[in-house]
Structure 1
Amino acid sequence: MKKSLYIFQNGELRRKDNSLYFESESRRKYIPVEDTNDIFIFGEVDVSKRFLEFASQKEIAVHYFNHYGYYIGTFYPREHYNSGHLIVKQVEHYIDMNLRLELARTFVKGSIGQLLQVLKYYGGRRDDKHFFEELIMSISGHAQQINEVVSVEELMGVEGHARERYYQAFDSIMGDPDFIFEKRTKRPPQNRLNALISFGNSICYTIVLSEIYKTFLDPRIGYLHATNFRKFSLNLDVAEIFKPIMVDRLIFTMVNKKMLSKKDFDEHTDGIMLTEDGRRKFAQELDKRMQTTVSHRHLGKSVSYRRLIRLELYKLQKHFLGEQKYIPYHSLW
Structure 2
Amino acid sequence: MKKTYYLFNPGRLSRKDNTLKFVAFDEDGYEQKPRYLPIENVDELYAFGALDANSALYNFLGQQQVPVHFFDYYENYTGSFMPKDALLSGKALMAQARVYDNKTKRIELARLILEGAAHNMIKNLKYYDKRGKDLLPVIERIEVYRNQFEHVKAIDELMGLEGNIRRTYYEGFELIVNDFSMSGRSMRPPQNEVNALISFGNMMCYSQCLRAIHQTQLNPVISFLHTPGERRFSLSLDLAEVFKPLLVDRVVFKVLNKKIIGLKDFDKSLNLVVLKNGGKKAFVKAFEDRLSETIQHRTLNRSVSYKHLIKLECYKLVKHILEIEKYKPFKMWW
Is TM (by shorter chain) over 0.5? yes
Q: 1:72 aligns with which of 71, 74, 78?
A: 78
- Report what 2:182 is aligned to: 181
- Report what 2:32 is aligned to: 26
Q: Secondary structure at the match of 1:124?
A: helix
Cα separation, 2, equivalents of 1:53 and 1:257:
43
Q: CA offset at residue 317 of structure 1?
A: 0.5
- Report what 1:172 is aligned to: 175
Q: Secondary structure at the match of 1:125?
A: helix
Deviations 1:155-185 (A, max 9, x none): 0111111111111111211221xx2011100
Q: CA offset at residue 238 of structure 1?
A: 0.4
Cα separation, 2, equivalents of 1:269 and 1:284:
26
The aligned runs of 1:240-255 (5 Å cut-off) are: 240-255=241-256
Query: Would you say the 8 A contact 1:9–1:42 is kept in 2?
Result: yes
- Report what 1:38 is aligned to: 44
Deviations 1:43-100 (A, max 9, x none): 1111122221111111111111111111111111011110011110011011111111
Read off the aligned partner of 2:70 and give its amino acid letter.
Answer: Y
Q: Secondary structure at the match of 1:187?
A: coil
Matched, 1:150 2:158: no
- Report what 1:4 is aligned to: 4
Query: Would you say the 8 A contact 1:81–1:215 is kept in 2?
Result: yes
Q: CA offset at residue 10 of structure 1?
A: 1.6
Deviates more, 1:273-282 or 1:213-222: 273-282
Q: CA offset at residue 32 of structure 1?
A: 3.4
Cα separation, 2, equivalents of 1:183 and 1:121:
21
Query: Would you say the 8 A contact 1:3–1:287 is kept in 2?
Result: no
Q: Where does structure 1 differ by over 6 angstroms across 4 or more consecutive aligned residues?
A: none
Query: Would you say the 8 A contact 1:294–1:305 is kept in 2?
Result: yes
User: C-alpha root-mean-square deviation of aligned residues, in Å?
Assistant: 1.2
- Report what 1:267 is aligned to: 268
Read off the aligned partner of 1:77 and give its amino acid letter.
Answer: P
- Report what 1:289 is aligned to: 290
Deviations 1:251-294 (A, max 9, x none): 10111110011111111443211112211211122112111112
Deviations 1:167-210 (A, max 9, x none): 1111211221xx20111000001111101111110111011101
Q: Secondary structure at the match of 2:227?
A: coil
Deviations 1:225-257 (A, max 9, x none): 101224210000000000001000001011111
Q: Secondary structure at the match of 1:34?
A: helix
- Report what 1:221 is aligned to: 222
Deviations 1:6-57 (A, max 9, x none): 1011211111112212122222212232232211101111112222111111
Deviates more, 1:214-223 or 1:284-293: 284-293
Q: Which runs of 5+ in 1 are unaligned?
A: none
Deviates more, 1:225-234 or 1:82-91: 225-234
Query: Would you say the 8 A contact 1:108–1:159 is kept in 2?
Result: yes
Cα separation, 1, equivalents of 2:17 and 2:300:
40
- Report what 2:139 is aligned to: 136
Query: Would you say the 8 A contact 2:117–2:242 is kept in 1?
Result: yes
Q: Which runs of 5+ in 2 are unaligned?
A: 25-30
Read off the aligned partner of 1:12 and give its amino acid letter.
Answer: R
Deviates more, 1:281-290 or 1:183-192: 281-290
Cα separation, 2, equivalents of 1:32 and 1:314:
30
Query: Would you say the 8 A contact 1:42–1:64 is kept in 2?
Result: yes
Q: Secondary structure at the match of 1:303?
A: strand
- Report what 1:56 is aligned to: 62
Percent identity over the alignment is 41
- Report what 1:211 is aligned to: 212
Read off the aligned partner of 2:233 and give its amino acid letter.
Answer: F
Q: Secondary structure at the match of 1:299?
A: coil
Q: Secondary structure at the match of 1:184?
A: coil
- Report what 2:116 is aligned to: 110
Q: CA offset at residue 132 of structure 1?
A: 1.5
TM-score, normalised via structure 1 length = 0.96
Cα separation, 2, equivalents of 1:222 and 1:238:
9
Read off the aligned partner of 2:277 and give its amino acid letter.
Answer: E
Cα separation, 2, equivalents of 1:222 and 1:123:
34
Cα separation, 2, equivalents of 1:15 and 1:215:
28
- Report what 2:28 is aligned to: none
Query: Would you say the 8 A contact 2:18–2:38 is kept in 1?
Result: no
Read off the aligned partner of 2:284 and give its amino acid letter.
Answer: A
- Report what 2:304 is aligned to: 303
